[in-house]
Amino acid sequence: MTWLIRPVAIGDIDKNVVELERRVIPAANLLIGTLAKYHKKLEEWDYHTACCNDYLSSDLQKRNLELHVESIFSLNPEKFRHISRFHVFLEEKNNELYITDLGSKNGTYIEGKKIKKAKLEDEQIFHLGGKKEDSARFKVYKQIEQIYALLVGVDNKEKRSADIDKIISRFDEWLKKLNTPCSKKIIKHEAVTLDELRFSLYEAEQLSENSLFFFYYAAHGNNKVLTTIEQTVCKTEITEYLNKIKAKKLVIIDSCYAAAGWENLDLQSGLYLFSAEEELYGWNSFSHAFSVAIELLLSKPYDFKNIDMDVLGRSMAMPNTCARKGEKSIFIC
């Protein structure tokens, strides 16, 4: 699964718009239209796999449509009469996603331009049945192609916590379960030198824009610095490295005063999770609970941009967690 789509908004024939923030669905070989007869129950819309539906095959033949349909996105024909029964088909070829209008009555539009067939780009919106309010709008997302995970844990106190090793091991196991190719680098305790940290962050700068940099850092810290084994590293220096990384970023900082000191962080393509707010203690318990919560979220494609830290914090019994996030969606499967 390389491409996903999500309904953004659906406008009915009277231009009453319903704004949506709903689940994402696989986009490959997807037929979209008012195909209610293939559903037992249909409210605004529904999605299901085609499952070799004989009625569907017969209807495609009648229309001289040679389509390999794997799934169907059906809109309610009573509410959305401006959407054709067989409106568009999304097809994935060589990791690219193409949209074809199937002779719809009211057309298909991308950026206000009516199209017959076009290649879709990451985070692009297409409209069915109109240009603006009188349309069904869908947003396209490209799956993350690869993940580079940098897992760092250091406790430089004489009485060292054993939990860091367990948490990093849990994140390691979580990454192994993902379908996305992932390379990992784990640095713990004595190996967490300032030079090694700098080099590892520099390596992340080589990632492409459709990659994900997953960065976990558990350490002691204050408003300005995090610890390494012998020295400290300024949060402003880590910020400079992160801002240079072109890939999307999922960053977890697990320390006391975790959220402080990141004023110049470029949030556009990242999600940053902190174990404690700017003036609060709190580390070494957040990450275990977070990793459990993330595993539950990943039972289906999940947009990390829309993560609700209040809800997540309450589920982990850690209300002082917080997040900063950009506008780009991050999907991991």
Regarding whether 155 and 122 lie in a shared domain, the answer is no
The gap from C-alpha 253 to its chain's centroid, in whole angstroms, comes to 19
Q: Which domain holds residue 58?
A: 3-142
Per-residue pLDDT, 229: 94
pLDDT over 90 (residue 31)? yes
Regarding whether 292 and 173 lie in a shared domain, the answer is yes
Q: Read off the pLDDT band of 4 (50, 70, 90).
A: confident
Q: Are 170 and 291 in contact (CB under 8 A)?
A: yes
Per-residue pLDDT, 197: 96
Regarding whether 162 and 118 lie in a shared domain, the answer is no
Regarding whether 321 and 212 lie in a shared domain, the answer is yes
Contacts of 64 (CB under 8 A, 6+ apart): none
The Cα 150–Cα 200 span in angstroms is: 7
* Main-chain dihedrals φ then ψ at residue 58, nearest 5 degrees: -65, -45
Regarding whether 107 and 11 lie in a shared domain, the answer is yes
Per-residue pLDDT, 240: 97
Regarding whether 256 and 113 lie in a shared domain, the answer is no
Report the DSSP pairing between strands 96-101 and 88-93.
antiparallel
Q: Read off the pLDDT band of 288 (50, 70, 90).
A: low
Regarding whether 271 and 138 lie in a shared domain, the answer is no
Regarding whether 289 and 237 lie in a shared domain, the answer is yes
pTM for the whole thing? 0.74
Domain boundary among 101, 118, 142: 142
- The token pair at 199 is 């080099």
Per-residue pLDDT, 328: 72
Per-residue pLDDT, 41: 59
Regarding whether 178 and 62 lie in a shared domain, the answer is no
Question: For residue range 72-124, what is the model confidence (pLDDT) as tens digits?
Answer: 888 888 777 788 999 999 999 988 999 999 999 999 999 889 999 999 998 89
What's the average model confidence in pLDDT over 195-217? Answer: 94
Comparing 55 with 63, which gets the higher pLDDT?
Answer: 63
Which CATH number characterizes residue 170's domain?
3.40.50.1460
Question: For residue range 138-196, what is the model confidence (pLDDT) as tens digits?
Answer: 889 888 888 999 999 998 887 777 778 888 888 888 888 877 889 999 999 999 999 99
Per-residue pLDDT, 273: 84
N- to C-terminal Cα separation, the chain: 9
Q: Read off the pLDDT band of 310 (50, 70, 90).
A: low
Domain boundary among 142, 170, 205: 142
Handedness of CA 203, 204, 207, 211 (dihedral sign): positive
Per-residue pLDDT, 264: 93
Per-residue pLDDT, 166: 84
- The token pair at 125 is 């919106």
- The token pair at 93 is 């070829």
Number of domains in the chain: 2
Of the ranges 2-6, 44-48, 183-187, 275-279, which is most confident?
183-187
Per-residue pLDDT, 314: 60
